[in-house]
């Protein structure tokens, strides 16, 4: 049986390594971008992270302005707290223009302790 304690912690930051390889360009760039998405490490980029309620609300507002039908934010909050905050923000700023319904979920995000990945979809 595999035991995490039997192995040393990695000394290389996988996210940094991938983003550096993407920034360097080259023929493998699309593959590195796909790995970033497949591992969900792309959410570690600043454009996804909200460390408090105001940042969370601002990111949602920004997505409204961009008319994004789907919003994904890595939020420093428990899953329950994140869902409560989604309701609160929607109560404050409403739905984006043209949207009639909303669905949202929060899931744990293991790559950054204390954060939840929040997905909000407008229909």
Of the pLDDT bands very low, low, confident and very high (cuts 50, 70, 90), residue 65 is confident
Distance (Å, rounded) from C-alpha 111 to C-alpha 113? 6
Fold observed for domain 46-122: Translation Initiation Factor IF3 (3.30.110)
* pLDDT tens per residue across span 81-101: 999 999 999 999 988 888 889
Average pLDDT over residues 101-112: 94
User: Which residue intervals of 1-123 are DSSP H helices?
Assistant: 14-24, 29-38, 53-65, 79-93
Q: Where are the domains of the chain?
A: 7-39, 46-122
* pLDDT tens per residue across span 27-45: 999 999 999 999 999 999 9
**CB atoms closer than 10 angstroms to residue 92:** 10
């Amino acid at each position: 049986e595999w035991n995490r304690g039997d192995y040393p912690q990695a000394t290389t930051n996988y996210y940094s390594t991938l983003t550096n390889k993407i920034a360097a360009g080259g023929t493998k760039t699309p593959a590195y971008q796909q790995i970033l998405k497949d591992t969900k490490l792309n959410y570690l980029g600043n454009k996804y992270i909200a460390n408090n309620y105001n940042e969370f609300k601002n990111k949602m507002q920004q997505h409204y302005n961009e008319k994004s039908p789907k919003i994904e934010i890595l939020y420093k909050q428990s899953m329950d707290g994140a869902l409560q905050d989604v309701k609160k923000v929607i109560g404050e700023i409403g739905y984006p223009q043209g949207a009639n319904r909303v669905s949202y979920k929060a899931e744990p995000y293991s790559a950054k302790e204390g954060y939840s990945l929040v997905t909000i979809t407008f229909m």
